[in-house]
Amino acid sequence: MDPVTDERIVPVTMPKWGLSMQLGKVTAWIIDEGDEVGIGDDLADIETEKINGTLEAADAGTVRRIVARVGEDVPVSGTIALLAPAGVTEEDLDAAVQQARAVIDAGVPEGTGAPEVLTAEAGGRKISYVGDGRDGDVVLLVHGYGGDRNSWLFLQEPLAAKFRVYALDLPGHGTSAKDVGDGSTSVLADAVVAVLDALGVTRAHLVGHSMGGAVALVVAARDPARIASLTLIAPSGFGPEINAGFLRGFADAQTRRELKPLVGQLFADEDLVTRQLVDDLLAYKRLDGVDEALHALAGALLDGDAQRGDSAALVAAVGGAVPVTVIWGAADRIIPAAQAEAVGGAIRHLIDGAGHMPHMERPGEVQAAIEQTIARAC
């Protein structure tokens, strides 16, 4: 920033949701010039190519200028609003707005874009993964059934500011090989281990969502010394209750009409289900081999309509040296939040107003919980 401009001006910037995001638009301002905001308050509805979401305030302050117009493309990190205390002059604010507008009007700079997708190999299967961030603790994000490495899009950049963050596509998902063998978490765990091996990593923090949580447990139980901490988000396998209809329905669905209500069950607020989200899931399911993989995985996760459960035993096998956190949305309609009680020795975070996808519904809280877990590791 221009040294003439007052340093008390705090920019609100277009977030980076996902490693490939380059542009976003404000579709609605929730705050007005003159409003006081606290950390975590909703500021604006943002639309990106991949997803829509609500931008939460990272700083507290008074909203003095709204910079980005509704509906215009803003590059990631571009300033969309300015917070500043009352003492900052109008002239300094105008100058800051001018600078910010120049960045927006210039568009996406050359050379930006998604980082390279890397591949590892596990049991003859190609495993895709991406990574970013600063040197330091390695964090590996493991998505759940029907997800992919982009499930973490609200968390990846913020975590990458502090850690070296990787996300993989499990077999059957994303751009990894679609063959899942018998669909067991063991096969999926092999993929996670393969990525760690390919990275040459001797110790990593694992974050696992839903089925990915069970997978993270399998990995940790095999070699607890290699895992620095475990953050489990609505993990599978901790009790018999599960929304079996969702698992099977998701594998069976062939059209947008069939898929949309199912996807809605993942969230506490169904408005988060955008057309783009459903379209992307439909395009994924139409790749060769995906529906077969999903059926195999659902078959392995379920015993009739009940959830197969050996995750508690895995926690015990991991042992007390590995800090475990379990995060659950109170309004989870896929796996009931009560199962958090079954995660022995874990610190529990129950998030009100979140469903089965707290890492998308309340990313700020999830991020904080992950950072706390990492801090507990020795």
Partner 1 sequence: MARTITYREALNEALAQEMERDESVIVMGEDNAGGAGSPGEDDAWGGVLGVTKGLYHKFPGRVLDTPISESAFIGAAIGAATAGLRPVAELMFVDFMGVCFDQIYNQAAKFRYMFGGKAVTPVVIRTMYGAGLRAAAQHSQCLYSLFTHIPGLKVVMPATPYDAKGLMIQAIRDNDPVMFFEHKALYDLTGPVPEESYTLPFGEANVVREGGDVTIVTLGRMVHTSLEAAGRLGADGVQCEVIDLRTTSPLDEDTVLDSVEGTGRLVVVDESHPRCSVAADISALAVRKAFGALQAPVEMVTAPHTPVPFSSALEDLYIPDAQRIVNAVKAVTGWTR
Candidate residues 8, 134, 275, 376; the one interacting with partner 1 per rule CB under 8 A: 275
**One of 102, 283, 313, 375 touching partner 1 (CB under 8 A):** 283
Residue 178 binds partner 1, judged by CB under 8 A:
yes
Element of type H or E holding 238: none
Place of tokens 């760690």: 196
Question: What is the C-alpha to C-alpha distance for residues 232 and 43, in angstroms, rounded to an integer?
Answer: 29
Kindly indicate which of the ranges 85-93, 225-233, 261-269, 284-292 contains the residues binding partner 1, using the contact rule CB under 8 A: 284-292
Smallest distance from partner 1 to CB 286, Å: 5
Q: How far apart are CA 45 and CA 205, in angstroms?
A: 32
d(CA 44, CA 57): 9
Q: How far is the CB of 174 from partner 1 (least distance, A)?
A: 7
Distances (CA, A) of 270 to 42, 62, 359: 18, 31, 15
**Maximum pairwise Cα distance, the chain:** 68
Counting contacts by CB under 8 A, is residue 286 touching partner 1?
yes
Beta strands 302-303 and 306-307 are antiparallel
Rounded to the nearest 5°, which phi and psi values hold at 238? -105, 10
φ/ψ of 152, rounded to 5, equals -95, 15
Cα separation, 316 vs 224, whole angstroms: 11
Name the one range near partner 1 by CB under 8 A: 60-68, 99-107, 279-287, 339-347.
Answer: 279-287
Closest distance to partner 1 from the beta carbon of 28 (Å): 16
Stretch near partner 1 under the rule CB under 8 A, chosen from 21-29, 99-107, 282-290, 337-345: 282-290
- How many residues sit in the footprint of partner 1 (CB under 8 A)? 13
Question: What's the CA gap between 291 and 251, in Å, rounded?
Answer: 6
User: What does the block give as tokens for 130?
Assistant: 């991406």
Asked if residue 69 binds partner 1 (CB under 8 A), the reply is: no
Cα–Cα distance, 280 to 262 (Å, whole number): 14
State the Cα–Cα distance between residues 310 and 269, nearest whole angstrom. 31
Q: Is 255 in the site for partner 1 (CB under 8 A)?
A: yes
DSSP 170: P
Using CA atoms, how far residue 149 sits from 44, 153, 154, 174, in Å, is 25, 8, 11, 7
Under rule CB under 8 A, residue 254 binds partner 1: yes
User: CA-CA distance, 24 to 10, in Å (whole number)?
Assistant: 20
Q: Which of residues 189-248 bind partner 1 (CB under 8 A)?
A: none
CA–CA distance, 96 with 67 (Å, rounded to integer): 10
Nearer CB in complex with partner 1: 283/316: 283
Compute the least distance from the CB of residue 177 to partner 1, in Å. 10
Name the one range near partner 1 by CB under 8 A: 59-67, 202-210, 220-228, 281-289.
281-289
Report in angstroms how near the CB of residue 149 gets to partner 1 at its nearest: 9
Q: Is the CB of 134 or the CB of 286 nearer to partner 1?
A: 286
Applying CB under 8 A, does 175 fall inside the site for partner 1? yes
CB of 288 to partner 1, least distance (A): 4
Written as six digits, the tokens of 20 are 């490939």
Integer Cα distance of 33 and 248 in angstroms: 48
Q: Which of residues 135-174 bind partner 1 (CB under 8 A)?
A: 148, 150, 174
Give the residue, chosen from 32, 90, 271, 288, that forms a contact with partner 1 under the rule CB under 8 A.
Answer: 288
* Closer CB to partner 1, 197 or 279, in the complex: 279
265 binds partner 1 (CB under 8 A): no
Is the CB of 203 or the CB of 275 nearer to partner 1?
275
CB of 76 to partner 1, least distance (A): 17
Q: Per rule CB under 8 A, is residue 20 in the interface with partner 1?
A: yes
Instruction: Give the binding site for partner 1 (CB under 8 A).
Output: 20, 148, 150, 174-175, 178, 254-255, 275, 283, 286-288
